[in-house]
Amino acid sequence: MVQGVPSPVVHPENVDMIIFRENTEDIYAGIEWKAGTAEAQKFEKFLMEEMGVKNIRFPGDSSYGVKPVSSTGSKRLVRAAIKHALEHDLPSVTLVHKGNIMKFTEGGFKTWGYEVARQEFGDKTFTWDEWDQLKKEHGEAHANEVQRKALHDGKLLVKDMIADNFLQQILIAPKDFSVVATLNLNGDYISDALAAEVGGIGIAPGGNINYNTGYAVFEATHGTAPKFAGTNSMNPSSVILSGCMLLEYIGWKEAADLITSALQAAIMRKRVTIDFYNLMTGATLLKTTEFGDEIISDIGVFTGDAQLKKSSSL
């Protein structure tokens, strides 16, 4: 860190993304064996003797984990992300992966993601996969021209980015990203990094959804904070915003919008719970219940222009 170097994170208002994290496979499948166990030894022996693996750096005391990533799992996730982008008229879907290193798992996610885009949404999307092909066949200028025209015609851009580069770009150029589709572990890091970027740790909402069956569980993303149980002091925003996601999911967007406007208004007035109070100057400290009442008193009163006017006068 060099003093005086300007921080690139000066425009949090440019962060407006929605992360679709694959939730059922990847290394979260829990297939792993601890170093020194008979299972680890057996697995290592299988790798070396039957699979011809020669590049285990320290055989004998390595632990092992298996990372299953499937075509079915990747495609249903990317399909959901693309559908969301199309339904909400969003500009792009970015597939975030580490396919340069893990060619068949993370690289497979990218390949399968592009396949879904081209095979199932070919008339509504333009992919970087197509761009590569066009460049190869007709040159870069032509590829750029086709992309420009496709986006001008309102097609959804489906692109991809290597995970480490993506984590830099969300700080430097957050405007370039809208819907993000990624694997389980990457999604874990990315969700938390982005929540931190907008100061939203502790209030971030989340939903776990099966878009085929319709099953959905929306949830507060923070922990149980048992030390503070019964103190009526904690911030209820995570579960409230998760409820807004639920309301939108069932098509009751009007109700969700009333809540987000009212929550925004309470924050603008700096009438907040202890977590925000501690970091703001000139704030008023509210209990959990008082913060709830603050939101409730604003619901349906200050919306749209009226709310902005009120906010800016403070």
Could you tell me the smallest distance in angstroms from the CB atom of residue 7 to another protein?
6
Tokens 């009212």 label which residue? 262
Nearer to another protein, 47 or 268 (CB): 268
CA 197 → CA 84, 91, 170, 194, 242, distances in Å?
23, 21, 9, 5, 19
Could you tell me the smallest distance in angstroms from the CB atom of residue 150 to another protein?
26
Could you tell me the smallest distance in angstroms from the CB atom of residue 16 to another protein?
5
Active-site residue list: 28, 98, 164, 188
Nearer to another protein, 40 or 262 (CB): 262
Contact at 8 Å (CB) between 177 and 169? yes
The distance in angstroms from the start CA to the end CA of the chain is 36
Could you tell me the smallest distance in angstroms from the CB atom of residue 123 to another protein?
19
Nearer to another protein, 28 or 64 (CB): 28
Contact at 8 Å (CB) between 131 and 96? no
User: 253-268 and 288-298 helices cross at what angle (nearest 10)?
Assistant: 120
Q: Which pair of tokens denotes residue 278?
A: 């501690």
d(CA 93, CA 103): 21
CA neighbours within 13 Å on the CB side: how many for 86? 16
CA neighbours within 13 Å on the CB side: how many for 165? 12
Nearer to another protein, 146 or 292 (CB): 292
